[in-house]
Chain A
């Protein structure tokens, strides 16, 4: 039955009216009056065949009170004349007509796998039957392997989801407890009205900042991302970060390079002479790109793998190094020491491109600033941020491009080009406003730090052979073009920033940045969208974004302040009080802070993926009065929501797809109509906006002045504002999904460069994936014809200041908190102890082969390729000690929870690790636990800072650029056989 009675656009499919109006009983007896029987008792043949008139014809209407509505065909409809002749002899007759596809549509998948692979989708009779890699990415460099085809086994069976039993086909409202699984179908109008009434209440009561919208990764489908974000933005609500929350963000990159992340596209791997895959399980998590890694071997490229286990990628490398888990930092710093001690470093690069020649005060640990030294004359506006070097003659010199002479974080009007030769090794005294002060270069500070990592220490810490790691360090330094592919594993640790910084140091020391075949490529998710400006203005039309670091927001409202160590709690409070990190709802004038009340989740599985899962369920979730999930399947978040709205699958909508693994843009197009009553994300939020406007207008509400921004929130025009093109003020311009796609392409430098007549339109992308034309300000190199994209050329080749305080790659951070914690330079530290309790094993949750996060975790086809249920991988000796055999049901447990799994004996593992490839859904565990149930809330205080503390040009909260990461690899657990006495 179709209950869709919300407003439709003209070009939308026509929809049959409700079979029955819920408010009106059908006819009490027999057929509806006047139709289909005539007064002579005859029945319309057509109507009869379609199910109308049966009761009348059989004369049973008088005996019962069922109207014809119950008999009428509803799902099938006649296309030809039903009273025509359909001779039939046997089933073979049905197969005499030659098979041909009705249509083939181009689409892709919105699952944050980094793939962004273009597929052809084959349609017959309004149904998707199969998909196939499109295989038509244009080549831009004939010397590189063909980019085609792109796609993996998950994408090849997405049709299963499109046609799956578990598709949500109708709006559903919870009629039991959250998570209980009791649902009632409601009409779109009922659903949208209920949500709209609630939202209007919240906004009019000033609690607009209690309304949250969580959706990750714009690049994987920016229009769908923008759909809800646009509405949330217009409501004055809160948009959540995701890259940091998922610990995909490598904090070392904003710290050192002042950039969220910037990577070479995968084709550039082929240009390298030496590649270290550092925890990046390319053969599992980068399937469409792995060929560049594998085929590079044919060019003589040496490929080294750094993995704690003998992973699916390790087996294909030339050399495998296996540090103890959590010791990557020590290994990297040991390698750095080898490079430094053996003078294999790129001195020119260090002098020009890094903070190594900068002077640091020995009394305070702070950089020596021009404002500290009366003898230094400076023209800079902010002498306190003009940093100093010593030149070959021993004179103090300002470091060009320091923040003090720049206009903000990124200022290409300045240069770091040096007209003098700074000393790397300098140590002296300086007359300052505080008297005589000893100073020395960052380089010398670094050498002192690296001195700690002698071969014996590194071996003891990492268990990597003394000669082995030193040899690899030498080879890396001596290679003409060397590259590190950095995986997510390092990011999952509490000291992820230190790990990142140490590994980054290797490419910096060797000058492997800013040209093809070099760099540190960190690929975790499609975090960075090429068409940035178009996406941003579509998602946040007001320009005033109430962004929030999701780790902090989640843990704050889940009660971390009462469940963490006093120092961390104090630093969280200080960060919030100083305005370094925002938390919403914001504190009111009377000092109170309301709870969050409303949460919209779409394109993500927030509840399932939430670390601190027990606290999220017990503390945060009850605070939410309304949780709305927009989904095509009943995932864990949907299950724990109040209203679930059915959304179109990836083959049922218009959108765009991009990734930093390649430099193309290509589309989603609707191969088929959305299943059941489902609608696209854009449609859903647009219609919700219309309903909010309708409710607000009926109530006659007044606009609300935003507490933080200079704008009013006017709910009586919110739909008009939603569909209005704010750049041209054209009304109704963005009513349709495709128009939103065109908007993004039209308003992005990458697809519509300002200095060119060339423009990529949506139709172009449907024709063939299009290589983007330019790289906008969001990127650090140009897109060049005939070359794979490689970052950092703006700085390394063009000599623009890096967007850091020093204007250089910055390994020394003189923020008070970093100094206090001894982390001004990268250093190896033990993580927090007893996270989750005092247990002997580490808990590790890497990305798996047979799913993209929780998507495809419930795919029967893919479950058949594995064990079919949540599995923990155990080293044989760990298993034997516990009396566990392969296939046993076991419990992984710590102080927080107990999770039941099947044991898989995994000889490729190191001892002491309980490894569970995530992200199984809650309902796949027997006790409704979750892989995150074992993970407590914890976060690193240094990721709460602003730097500089007062102005924050370098490190400042910006969603997905800088904020505390949600980490989980420090967690301790043990394993016991289920039913055993392993306690």
Chain B
């Protein structure tokens, strides 16, 4: 029953958030029925809508993992954006420097992206362990540094001289571009993200490493008394989280942009924070949450065009849902429905 509470409460909160937004629309003189009709139509109502939603969800899966994994160790890392953009640059430069390797080239790019991301967020973990630097602040500030570095790299050191008005690294050859998954117009980034979520779930919930990590998250002192290598655990898992974000950058470069450039800083790292928190840092729960938020974003355009609402509409909706789900956390354990042991006494 506890398990059903963990599913039912967020669902109820989601419905409450959607209902509250409906009231908000009514006050603006817009029909909530139309609104949710359009959200369904453009986000989930047809094959194209699903392709649209899943394409947008792909980078969010990996970005959310960069928040969810450290969170299990009690760390709030919010600077995944930095690892994404630098991972993208590393992948773009690697791909352009080592042509003609076929699938091996794609693997090389993935390693370069993941390694860069691992170093970047691993450094956040290192500062936490060795110097006691707050990881939330340091990761956020390092994201700004990362974006500045990316701009510097693509505009000077690694700039393709032919990219005049949109400074970029040299274009990737066709063989280094991630293709679409079979049967749909969604690139392989989605598959990579899904696999990463499932693997992360197994690591965090079904291995001794994950168990040790969760003990660190529960109580660092207790973990130390038990003799757990807390420092190495934090370093290892922040690096793992960063490698997923770096991989997200590689996917963007290989599947979407074809070279690294300023468009990499698209804010996926920040949307990932929202998704990880909504999923309560459960790697499997990230999948449906990312798809839901991606569906909202996919329908944002149709809502703008048909209802004459501004693009901020979807931000208001996301905010209301986020607050509703946070509030629902305080209700955990308060419903007798979910506590069968109390049924008899009633």
Do these two chains really belong together in a complex? no
